[in-house]
Each structure stands twice: as C-alpha cells, then as structure tokens.
Chains A and B, each alone.
Chain A
Amino acid sequence: MEALKRSFGEIRKYPSAVIGVIMILVLIGLAIYTVATIPYSEAIRLWRGGEDIWYSTPRNAFPVWTNWFTDVKQPETIVMFSEDNPDVTKEYTTTSSGKTDIKMSYTFDYTADDFPQELSLFFKTEYVAKEPFASITWETPDGRTIRVGDLAVSRKQTYRISQDEALVRRLGGEKPEVGLFADPESPDPENPQVLKGTYKINVSVLLFEDTGDASAEYVVFGEVFGWAGTDHRRRDLMLPLMWGAPIALLFGLLASAGISVLTMIISAIGGWYGGVVDGIIQRITEVNLTLPFLSILIMIGTFYSRSIWTILGATIVLSIFGAAIKTYRAIFLQIRESTYIEAARAYGASDMRIIFRYLIPRIIPLLIPGLVLGVPAFVFLEASLAVLGLGDPVLPTWGKIINDAWVNAALYNGYYYWILEPAVLLMITGLAFAMLGYSLDRIFNPRLRGL
C-alpha cells in the first residue's frame, strides 16, 4: 500500500497527469453538481417532455456564445409574464355594465440585428360562462401603432402571432415577426432592416363578468438560447449535456473497473490452480475473443433491452474474458513460483488467501493504468451505441444528443453546435483519462521512462 501511495504521489511530477486529474475532477464536480441540482426524476421529466414543458423556448436555437463570433447579432429569447414583472403594467377597469377590462402592456428593448423566430402570447383566464375577448396592439419605437389582432380566449389559450393570417395581410404580406420589427425606412424593402428600440405590446382582455381574471405570457422566440442552445423539440441542450456527465462517468468507470477487476481475479484463479480450471478459462477466452462484440451488443439492444444497465452488464460479461486474461495469466504463472508463495503455503495460507493477498497485489500496478485508460473507451462505447440508435431511450446522454442531431440532419441545416457540444465533452473526457492513464503507466512501469 505504501508503495502504491508513493507511486500516486509521483503524479505531481507529470504536468499532463496533473492536468488530467484536474479535468477529471472538473467532470466529477459537474456530475455531482448536476445530480444535486437537477434530480434524476426531474431530468427525466424535462427530457421526455414535449411542447407542454418547453413551450417558451425557441426551436433549434444556437447557443448565445455564437453571437460573439458574428457581426449580425441574433436575438435572444424574451419571456415576459404579466404577473410580477416590472416591465409589464397591468390595470383593471370596471365598467358600469359589470364588465372588467384588463389592460396589460409589455415594454421591451429589441436590439438584435436580426428578426426573431416567432412571437406568441399564452393566455390564462378565469371566467364562468362567457369567454373573455382580447385585443392586441403593437407600438414601435418610431411611434407607429399596429393592430395585431382580436380573439376570444378560453381558459388556456395560445395565440401564435406569427401564424395570424389576417395580420400577415395587414402587414402587406410580410411575416409578422419580420413586419412588426421592420424599419419602414429600410433602403431595400425586399430585405428589411430591424428597427432597434423600445417596443410595446398592449394586450387588453375584456371580461364579461364581474369576477374573473386574466394573465398572459408574452414570448419573443429568439434565434439564440442559453449557453447550449436548443434542439428540434425546443429542449434546452444544457440538460442532456450536464446529465450526460454523470452517466458517462458512471458507465465508463463501472465498466472499466468491473472488467479489470473481474479479469484479474479470473486469471489469478486460472494461474494459481492451473490444470483443468486454467484450461477452461483459456478456452472460454479464446472463443470469446472471436465473438463480434459490437454485433452482439446491437442484437441485445434491438431484441432485448436498450436500458443502460443491460448494456453495461452485457459489456462487462463480454469483456471479462478478454485478451488481458492472457497477459495477466502469464504474469501470475511467474509469480506463483516465487518463494514467498511457497513460504505462505508452508505457514498454512489457503488457496483463496494466496490468490487475493499474494498474487493479486503484485499485478495492481499494472492494473491501475489499464483501468484508467479503459474508462474513455467505455464512455465512447456508450456514445457510439447511442449514435447507432441503441442508447437508453429514457436517459439524456451525450450520445443521445449526437443521435438526435444526426437524425435531424443537424450539419445539413447548419446546427453545428448540436454536434460540437457533446463531441467536445466526449473529447475532454477521453483526453482527461488518457493524460492521467499514460502518466500512471509511466509511473508504474518505470522502464518506459527512458524512451
């Protein structure tokens, strides 16, 4: 143990190992933070959720940092709810005939260089019998007032301004999200410019009863959203990017540790007992080495279950009897002839004690670098299976993002962030473990140092 501690202490002498350790710690920190802040059930609910949960996010929006690299600044999403927002004024006026008029005005600055994706109003009203009536007007910075539309609103009503055909006609055939923000003085009317400034949208809801209330959420769907962007189902990509970390690390570490440790124990047993036991283990290994690993995993995923635990179990079972058995066995055959093993037998150590206390500790220095280097391989395996459509159908993972991006032709449509973000995280994970693993290899196998 002392020697192991000393070897780990030597990590400090290798800058690449230090960087690797820091990167791994950051990943682990991200994983812990994610699990602590977004509980598993919440993550699943958000990831599985459709338009009901993700109604206020734009579709396929780029991350906000893409604005740093372009001259044309894309609009961010603006969400304004009529309650508890200082930029929204809400007034109640009761008329003599027992009607209530609720006036809500949303004031917002629009400074982007391009037009938004969509405009929508989400109404929520309380009434007994007769549906309230809403009328919406639009005030531009240069003082024009445009009538947007009038409609009866039910208890839960979505008014998609962008899809109002009457408004399109009123704007002279221009799409509302363009026409409402366009500068009338644009030099080229075919290619209108954005009129920057403070806009105001006035929503007036007329209640035909003396009780009741109305509220409305106004959303300008931008072209950029959050630090990660959104996907085709309006989901914020931050969720799968963050949740991908604990899943990837857990899968990689469990698979790598499970396979390394079990392989070592099996080869130790074979090396110690020899004879028939060793023969059986060696024959199983040889047969297993000829089996097509990925094809079997695809078969299991297609016909049985795509749960990550099934895939993990199948990966471990198929990899235990791997090529490492041959390497370890060769070393164990050498160690078992050591005189200290003979001494241990002479003072009565049992077979199991010899295997676990005398044979295995000798091989741990070999095992540790292999274990660390094995982690990214299994992280990538999980991602590859997800890309092939065999990822866990429930969990948000990095591989699943790439799969979604691929299915929705992300690169053809120019949504490079959709593939870039999970790919960068995968590369960071691989790089971190590789930097640490190769340094550990050099520490534990000093003969490589001279090379």
Chain B
Amino acid sequence: MAEILEKKLKDQDFSDTGALLQVKRLHVWFELRRFGFGHAGYVRAVDDVSFELKAGQAIAVVGESGCGKTSLMKTILGLNTPIKGDIIFDGMKLSELDRKGMMEYRSKIGFVQQDPYGALPPFMSIRSILDEPLIINGVKDPKERNERIRQVMEEVRLSPVDDFIEKFPHMLSGGQQQRVVIARAMILEPKLIVADEPVSMLDASVRVEILKLLENLQKSHNLAVIYITHDLSTVRYFSERIFVMYAGKVAEKAVVDEILNNPLHPYTEALLTATSEPDAANARIYKEVPPGEPPSLVNPPTGCNYHPRCPKIIEGLCDLEDPPEFEPVPNHLTLCWLHKDA
C-alpha cells in the first residue's frame, strides 16, 4: 500500500501559489478492521483529489450520495485526518498543526450544515448558540460578544434581533434556523465557508432566499465558499466553478456554464440528464440514465472508476489504466480517456 502511495505522491509539490486553500493530492481512506483489530482494507472515500481556491472564489462540489463529497468537506474542516496528502489553508499546513494551531485553523472556516434543526443544540437559546464559538475562541468580554452576535444576526437578517435572540431553535421556522446556522458559521469572521447541502432540507420557498443570503455574504465579505450539493439546479446561484465527484475522485472541473453546456465526462452527462426541471414536457420524455450503482469504495474497479457503468467505454484502456487529468478545453479538466487526444 505504502509503495503505491509513494509512487503516486512522487511529484507532490507544495509551492505557494497565493491561493487561500490548496488541497494537495488528498487521500482520505478509512481503515476497515476485522474482529476489532485485524486489518481488512480501506474505504477510499477521497482518493487523490487536488484543487486550489482563491480568496472570494466559490466552487460547487457535485455528486451523488457516497461519492466522497462529505468526507472531503470534513477533511477540509479538520474533522477527518487524511492518510496522505495535505491541505494548506491561509498559510497553515493541516498536517503540521498543534492543538492551538488547529483552533485557529477551525476558527477561519465556517461550517453550514444540511439539517438546520439537527445542527442547533435544542437546549440552547440563539444567544448561547452564537456565544459558544466566541467563548471557545477566546473572546472574553461579554459586551464585545453581545455586539458581535447582534451584528451577525443583522447580517443574516434575523431582525429585529431582540425577537430572536432569547428564543430556542424549535421556536423558529426552518429558514430562520438555517439563518442561525449561517450566523454561527459567520460569527468568527471566517475566510472560507463550507456549506454542506445548505438548502436540501428546506422548503422550496425559502431555498432561494437562503442561497441569495449566502451569495450576498460571499460578496460583501469576500468569502471563499465550498458549496456541496447533489442538486445541479441550485449550483448556478453563486458558484463559479463546479467539481463533479464520483467514487472519491474529481471527475471533472470547470466553470459553471462550461459544465452545464459542454460536459466532457460521461458521468457529468448522466448527472445533467437526471436533473429535474419544471417543464411539463418532461413528463412525456424518457431520459436515458446509465444503469448500475457507484462502485465499492473498498475494492474500486481497476482503471477508470466509472467504466463499469460508462456507455462510452474504450475496451482495453478504460478498464485497465487510471485516467490522468486531461484539459481538452482551457480550464476545463476531466479524468476521462475519451479526451486523451486533446
């Protein structure tokens, strides 16, 4: 195992490119154990993912359930430990951080979760919920904390503040709860927001509001945003680039319009086909979606991960060798042998 990784990481490069977040050949593998101690292989949740994110830039990570997007997100938040590769955020190298450094690292990344009700401790008032990150990160003056809480509540438009500040999560609507979650992510003035499907649990009526709010915050605070979703229809709102993930790998990277209009990877095509659009004509059209399920992450197929489902498989190549990253169109990268001649 170590040898394979060694070979893979041979050309690893950590030069400073001025980006806010650098993800370098990240491998997040979870060890499987037999009888509690014997080694039984790895779950390759994130397998060799690299990308860069500049300050103020927003990207969307798209993929179906189990493709590794949540593992990638948790690793960026410092909640998972990568087995190989590294993350450099704002000059801090994740693998070399001590406890104090970790606190600072985490305080600069805001986290917006999927289920707003579950994300808020039910026994704390809104004030306590927003107070917690400040207390933990050493803001000792209660007056200063109070001011910061009010300011951030105004920003997420939980106003008038006095109507909300002493309430408990269960007294708020789903949209208001999600605003509290966003306020909590914003309260430490982070440089990066990681939003894990922030609107998928909300009513359709408040989705747009929340996405617009995130967009406004991103612009006014020059935030970098990693927006994780399975729903391509919400991507457009504020992300510039889309990463399509499949089975632990980033299958395709490009700007939003490029992906939507000119998908290069067969999996992206399939995803786009599956996107629902409110059009009456859809009821009479049969969309061709590739059959099968995502592969096992413990024993991934040889060659391209997608080849067992791929309608455009090149026999003897796709099923044997890992595809490298091709760039058939400038700034549009894909892991697909179809574009080997580009």
Q: Which of B78, B103, B184 contacts A343 (CB 8 A)?
A: B184
Q: Which of A338, A343, A348, A362 contacts B137 (CB 8 A)?
A: A348
**Residues in A whose Cβ lies below 8 Å from that of B181:** 343
Chain A residue nearest in CB terms to B118: A339
Q: Mark B100-138, 1 if CB is under 8 A from A, else 0.
A: 001100110101011100111111110000001100110
B188 at the A/B interface (Cβ < 8 Å)? yes
Chain B contact-residue range equals 20 to 34
**Residues in A whose Cβ lies below 8 Å from that of B164:** none
Residues A347 and B106 in contact, CB atoms below 8 Å apart: yes
Q: Which of A343, A348, A357 contacts B113 (CB 8 A)?
A: A343
A346 at the A/B interface (Cβ < 8 Å)? yes
Q: Mark A338-363, 1 if CB is under 8 A from B, else 0.
A: 11101111111110010001100110
Q: Mark B69-90, 1 if CB is under 8 A from A, else 0.
A: 0000000011100000000000
**Residues in A whose Cβ lies below 8 Å from that of B133:** 347-348
Rounded to whole Å, the gap between the CB of B133 and the closest CB of chain A is 4
**Residues in B whose Cβ lies below 8 Å from that of A348:** 102-103, 106-107, 133, 136-137
**Residues in B whose Cβ lies below 8 Å from that of A350:** 136
B168 at the A/B interface (Cβ < 8 Å)? yes
**Residues in A whose Cβ lies below 8 Å from that of B119:** 339-340, 342-343
Chain B residue nearest in CB terms to A343: B119
Q: A3-B123, A343-B113, A362-B123 are in contact. Are A349 and B168 (CB under 8 A)?
A: no
**Residues in B whose Cβ lies below 8 Å from that of A343:** 111, 113, 119, 181, 184
Chain A residue nearest in CB terms to B138: A348
**Residues in B whose Cβ lies below 8 Å from that of A344:** 121, 132
Chain B residue nearest in CB terms to A364: B123
Chain A contributes a number of interface residues (CB within 8 A of B) equal to: 20
Bound-complex Cα distance A346 to B168 (A): 21
Residues A347 and B113 in contact, CB atoms below 8 Å apart: no
A residues 355-382 near B (Cβ < 8 Å) are 357-358, 361-362
Q: Mark B289-311, 1 if CB is under 8 A from A, else 0.
A: 00000000000000000000000
Rounded to whole Å, the gap between the CB of B253 and the closest CB of chain A is 25
B residues 122-169 near A (Cβ < 8 Å) are 122-125, 132-133, 136-137, 168
Q: Which of B107, B120, B188 contacts A340 (CB 8 A)?
A: B120
B residues 164-210 near A (Cβ < 8 Å) are 168, 181, 184, 188
Residues A349 and B79 in contact, CB atoms below 8 Å apart: no
Rounded to whole Å, the gap between the CB of B223 and the closest CB of chain A is 16
Residues A3 and B168 in contact, CB atoms below 8 Å apart: yes
Q: List 11 A-B contacts (CB under 8 A).
A: A2-B125, A2-B168, A339-B119, A340-B121, A343-B181, A345-B79, A347-B107, A349-B136, A350-B136, A361-B123, A362-B122
Given contacts A3-B123, A339-B114, A347-B133, 4 further A-B contacts (CB under 8 A): A340-B120, A340-B121, A358-B121, A362-B123
